[in-house]
Amino acid sequence: MSAFTMDADWLSFDPSPSKPVFQLPAGAVDAHCHVFGPGDVFPYASERKYTPCDAGKDKLFALRDFLGFERNVIVQATCHGADNRALVDALRAADGRARGVATVRPDVTEETLAEMDAAGVRGVRFNFVRRLVDPKPDAYYRGIIERIAPLGWHIVIYFEAADLEERWDFFTSLPTTVVVDHMGRPDVTKPVDGPEFGRFVALMERDNIWSKVSCPERLSKSGPPAYDDVVPFARALVERFPDRVLWGTDWPHPNMKNHMPDDGTLVDFIPRIAPTETLQHKLLVDNPMRLYWQR
């Protein structure tokens, strides 16, 4: 029994998702998902801004198999702060079928970095979403970049569309491969060819920038199950930058407030944004394998 009580307004993941109609290509990777605890084994961080339901590795791997994925990329959840033990435990249990994106501080030890690298961590995440974390000065992140550079890790950044202009100089100065979570959270009520999303497309025109075209459930105003208003944005990126896009379920869907998505329905969203087999294979197999499984 976890010592932590989830937030009163927390929406727990769907325990019985539908079976997708869309058949994933062989070797497909869910390139954005999380593990939460269990809190009695891997306690949640004291500085967290939310307390989730428990959602451990066994449930994640069961979902992977049910939906038809071969592999996962597990992203450190902000509720665990810079304590990556739950992440590393899941990677070790995955028998080579998972890679990880960690959260570290500038004072992380060489021993800890080497341990995470051996377990399968291949990147670090910088979160700039103020309702989830307290963003730090640029020098803080540059200190981390210096620490991970010898390992060849990349950077994942999470921000909201309104913050891109302010952070532009920092983001465009990053020396590694940079993966943007969830298309930089565009305002899908604005035109896909308008100036706000155009700024994000301009960021993507830099060869080192990738994007996850995930989380229609977070971005949509038209709502489930179709999330129609998100399709033009994701499809524009998949078709324009087919070699630098990734997709993930975002299970167990932290901090959803108005509904909990059906993971099977989310998988069926994929052919609407990647309409050809070639685009689907790049999105789900070629790109994540190139980024996460080169070694």
> Which strands make up the sheet holding 71-75, listed edge to edge?
29-33, 71-75, 98-102, 121-127, 154-158, 178-180, 209-212, 245-246
Rounded mean pLDDT of the chain?
A: 95
**What is the C-alpha to C-alpha distance for residues 78 and 103, in angstroms, rounded to an integer?**
8
pTM value is: 0.96
d(CA 71, CA 226): 25
Alpha carbon separation from 269 to 3, 263, 273 (Å, rounded): 37, 10, 7
3 state SS of 193: coil
pLDDT tens digits, residue range 158-211? 999 989 999 999 999 999 999 999 999 999 999 999 999 999 999 999 999 999
Candidates 250, 262, 268, 286; catalytic one: 250
**Cα separation of 69 and 58, whole Å?**
15
Question: Nearest 5°: CA angle at 239, between 273 and 260?
Answer: 25
Q: What is the pLDDT of residue 134?
A: 73
8 A C-beta contact, residue 38 and residue 54: yes
Residue 280: per-residue pLDDT = 98
Is 14 catalytic? The answer is no
